[in-house]
Structure 1
Amino acid sequence: MTTTTLIANGILNQHLIDPEICIRCNTCEATCPIDAITHDDTNYVVMADKCNGCMDCISPCPTGAIDNWRKVPAAEPYPIDAQYGWDELPPALSAEQLAAAASDVQDLSQAQAVIAAAAESTGSGTGSSTSTRASASSASSVEQSVQESFRAASFGATVPPWSAAHAYTNLHGPKNPVTATVVGNINCTEAGFDNETHHIVLDFGSMPFPVLEGQSVGIIPPGTDATGRPHVARQYSIASARNGERPGYNNAALTVKRVTADHEGRPVRGVASNYLCDLKVGDTVQVIGPFGHSFLMPNHPRSHIVMICTGTGSAPMRAMTEWRRRLRKSGKFDGGKLMLFFGARTPQELPYFGPLQSLPKDFIDNNFAFSRVPGQPRRYVQDAMRERAADLAALLRDENTHIFVCGLKSMEEGVVLALRDVIVQAGMDWDGVAARLKQQGRLHLETY
């Protein structure tokens, strides 16, 4: 499918992202197989000259913001620069406006040329559209082919496990957020200020806000950004079980790392993370959501869960582990195996390290990987996975096994490659196993 297939009679069905409900989680950009989605500090946008309508980005979006379309003159698609400035989607054009525009384009090739020309003039700052122009060098084409030969994101499921509980989503949006009260805020690491991670408990009072393990919420920081616009919501995974951090109460927990530097180590103060980490008991916050309909734990007896995470990617894993722990304590659920691969730079920076070590060994199989321990070689979660290849392979032979990956985007490829190696070395067919894991909702990737 190409862009021209989205054009008929001089009208383009342009793919757009709704900035009002987008929570900037990067799922769409990470999922798009042709790099047709990009972003700036304000909005995520779709490039009209690249989008082919493949729909791969639709299901993974937790809010539905990605599933928006506008019929526009093919000669005048909404340019990227305009989309960056939007606070809401533009109104749909009338039938009369579209009919008048249709007569301006004589054929599809002309429309395609106009779209490409528009992207040429407005997309120079994206760094993506230039690599797809006809004038791209053969070296760039080869490089792109190599990069696309193994797309880790393509193996992730977009459907939930068959036994997952029903998930409620989008109950509260930016225009009608819920006010929650902080009832707990503790540092759950031994690291200093620059690397601390907080466990924050929010109480929703009498307002219904049902959440499941694996879902997320959006927190709206107070104030405005550098352009004077209200801050957009930031997404955080739920770190508590479905019946609350405190069972029987209408509350939920989040795992929040205080951001004091960007990925290149340059000093920066994360707006939402520092706001949340500094909250006191009794303070209130504005919450939207919940979000997420596929990254959900299985609920059938003897289902096994393999959890692979780094840093605050531990939040959904803590939620799943806690729910299984409560079921085990009740004696009313015959749970399968839990296997955790958890990575951090040092033990002091690993959230929930102490509580994890106190869990019974026959309840959860913990495997830690630390990459910055003085005097020791760097070790990552994929290294730990390969070390436990025999045990992982045994679980992967069982179709009751579900795998959840959560953490920084940089870990995704290494983890999926490690899974592939484990499967191949065990004599199984990677393509067949990977296809079943995806189709049956048993391999979920949530990276950022």
Structure 2
Amino acid sequence: MHNSAATASNNNTQYQNRLFVYEVKGLSQNGNTNSLNYPIRRSGSVFITVPYHRMNQEMRRITRLGGQIVSIKPLNDDVVSEVNGTSQHRDFVSRGNLGTSHGQSNQPKQQPQAQSKSMTQTKAKKADVPVNIYRPKNPYIGKCTEIYDLVEEGGIGTCRHMTFDLSGGDLYYVEGQSIGIIPPGTDDKGNSHKLRLYSIASTRHGDAMDDKTVSLCVRKLEYQHPETGELVEGVCSTYLCNLKPGDDVAITGPVGKEMLLPDDEDANIIMMATGTGIAPFRAYLWRMFKEGDLNPDYNFKGLAWLFFGIPTSPNILYKEDLEKLEKDYPDNFRLTYAISREQKNSEGGRMYIQHRIAEYADQLWELMQNPKTHTYICGLKGMEGGIDEALTGAAAKHGVNWDEYRKQMKKEHRWHVETY
């Protein structure tokens, strides 16, 4: 596969150093800057060390605080050097806290002018994965900017894609993480509703690829009460599915490191999803195939294989996009549906995702022998047993105990499960 990011990647070696230093003027020492650990000098200047993936967010934050960025200079090998040369030390930034250099001078060493690129061109490393930037006691309030139906006419239930604006805060995330949503109101005991976690369905750049949004894929929970027969609707999912553009939403997080993509561009990614379990895989696939020049550091060259279980054809979420990817990248993306109410398994019963895994078990087993292959499962917990059963048979043909092999893949961080 050729990704348009490949050319940009070859010209991006000057961005190997991931820290930059902002010289900022116009800030005054006050409660706001104190909380952000800004040491304001008598000259009115402050030097702020910023990791590459946070540059856009820090620019917006500095502007809100009334500051003016005088210069931005790259920091060589992530090291700040004192003018007198007596010491060197690293100054890292995490979870949105700003770090500054120390010593007799905060001026960084002069570096060659880097070629102009998007500020968000970065490869996420696990050390940089954000966690709990916003917590339940102080959530980020973002507005819904877009919401639309994902289930086509004739499908079962309600499922919607929704996008929230993040431009007013410091929330950022990477693919495979989740955010919390706090529905308004109180429960039957008068307590505020607890947050619900939802897998993020967009890449770190957001659907508009401007680093200003996050998207979710939400199915409305509704069922008949087994005793009373009355319709029961999920509190948070109903609230989200009834949103309109402009509505405020309380957001927490992000959280989660279990479902992160590997950095390796040659990795093989096996994805098994049911229903809204497609959410993190949408983020993976969009990052692999749709971001182009936003991703000079990540030019996916491996195989991505998605198994997607749904009840009916109208319930195939993101169907048009998925099938276009399959058409455009036949050597790098495979798409296999299990449509339970329309397709039959080998025994004549309904086709569920575990039956598809059984059909391709030998191919999957062969893929899993490659140490660069990662397997992800997301969706209903009930599918795990059937998947294990299917792969048990494939492993047994080679004299291997599947349970032990799966545990070994887990230790190698190649087996990732998020089910509910």
Deviation per CA, 1:172-222, whole angstroms, max 9, x where unpaired?
Answer: 111000011111101112156861210101111131111111110111111
Q: Name the counterpart of 1:400.
A: 372
Shift of 1:223: 0.8
Is 2:334 the counterpart of 1:365?
yes
Matched residue type, 1:229: N
Distance change in 2, residues 1:247/1:395 (3 Å): same
Is 2:146 the counterpart of 1:184?
yes
Shift of 1:357: 1.3
Q: How many residues align?
A: 287
Is 2:217 the counterpart of 1:250?
no
Say if 2:225 and 2:232, in contact at 8 Å, map to a contact too. Answer: no
TM-score after normalising by structure 2: 0.64
Alignment partner for residue 133 of structure 2, among 141, 163, 171?
171
Alignment partner for residue 308 of structure 2, among 318, 342, 361?
342
Q: Name the counterpart of 2:223.
A: 261
Identity %: 36
Matched residue type, 2:191: R
Alignment partner for residue 392 of structure 2, among 392, 395, 420?
420
Q: Which secondary structure state, in structure 1, belongs to the residue aligned with residue 351 of structure 2? A: coil
Q: Name the counterpart of 1:446.
A: 418
Q: Name the counterpart of 1:437.
A: 409
Matched residue type, 2:419: T
Q: Which secondary structure state, in structure 1, belongs to the residue aligned with residue 250 of structure 2? A: strand
Deviation per CA, 1:359-384, whole angstroms, max 9, x where unpaired?
Answer: 13333100100112288740111111
Q: Which secondary structure state, in structure 1, belongs to the residue aligned with residue 363 of structure 2? A: helix
Q: Name the counterpart of 2:263.
A: 299
Alignment partner for residue 193 of structure 2, among 226, 231, 245?
231
Shift of 1:433: 2.4
Matched residue type, 2:301: G
Q: Which runs of 5+ in 2 are unaligned?
A: 1-123
Shift of 1:432: 4.6
The separation in 2 between residues aligned to 1:413 and 1:280, in whole angstroms, is 39
Q: Which secondary structure state, in structure 2, belongs to the residue aligned with residue 294 of structure 1? A: coil
Q: Name the counterpart of 2:176.
A: 214
The separation in 2 between residues aligned to 1:435 and 1:200, in whole angstroms, is 36
Deviation per CA, 1:38-77, whole angstroms, max 9, x where unpaired?
Answer: xxxxxxxxxxxxxxxxxxxxxxxxxxxxxxxxxxxxxxxx
Q: Which secondary structure state, in structure 2, belongs to the residue aligned with residue 436 of structure 1? A: helix
Alignment partner for residue 352 of structure 1, among 283, 295, 318?
318
The separation in 1 between residues aligned to 2:125 and 2:162, in whole angstroms, is 29
TM-score after normalising by structure 1: 0.60
Alignment partner for residue 273 of structure 2, among 309, 312, 325?
309
Say if 1:164 and 1:297, in contact at 8 Å, map to a contact too. Answer: no
Distance change in 2, residues 1:253/1:418 (3 Å): same
Q: Which runs of 5+ in 1 are unaligned?
A: 1-161
Structure 1 residues 360-369 or 214-223, which shifts more? 360-369
The separation in 2 between residues aligned to 1:324 and 1:370, in whole angstroms, is 25
Q: Which secondary structure state, in structure 1, belongs to the residue aligned with residue 232 of structure 2? A: coil
Q: Which secondary structure state, in structure 1, belongs to the residue aligned with residue 377 of structure 2? A: strand
Shift of 1:239: 0.3
The separation in 2 between residues aligned to 1:296 and 1:373, in whole angstroms, is 33
Is 2:374 the counterpart of 1:410?
no
Question: RMSD of the alignment, in Å?
Answer: 2.4
The separation in 2 between residues aligned to 1:385 and 1:430, in whole angstroms, is 14
Say if 1:327 and 1:333, in contact at 8 Å, map to a contact too. Answer: no
Is 2:202 the counterpart of 1:240?
yes
Shift of 1:409: 1.5
Matched residue type, 1:350: I
Say if 1:178 and 1:287, in contact at 8 Å, map to a contact too. Answer: yes
The separation in 2 between residues aligned to 1:165 and 1:316, in whole angstroms, is 20
Shift of 1:163: 6.4
Shift of 1:352: 1.2
Say if 2:203 and 2:287, in contact at 8 Å, map to a contact too. Answer: yes
Say if 2:338 and 2:352, in contact at 8 Å, map to a contact too. Answer: yes
The separation in 1 between residues aligned to 2:366 and 2:230, in whole angstroms, is 43
Deviation per CA, 1:216-258, whole angstroms, max 9, x where unpaired?
Answer: 0111111111111111111100000111121123211100001
The separation in 1 between residues aligned to 2:189 and 2:155, in whole angstroms, is 29
Shift of 1:427: 4.5
Alignment partner for residue 333 of structure 1, among 295, 299, 308?
299
The separation in 2 between residues aligned to 1:412 and 1:191, in whole angstroms, is 30
Q: Which secondary structure state, in structure 2, belongs to the residue aligned with residue 409 of structure 1? A: coil
The separation in 2 between residues aligned to 1:419 and 1:391, in whole angstroms, is 10
Matched residue type, 1:393: W
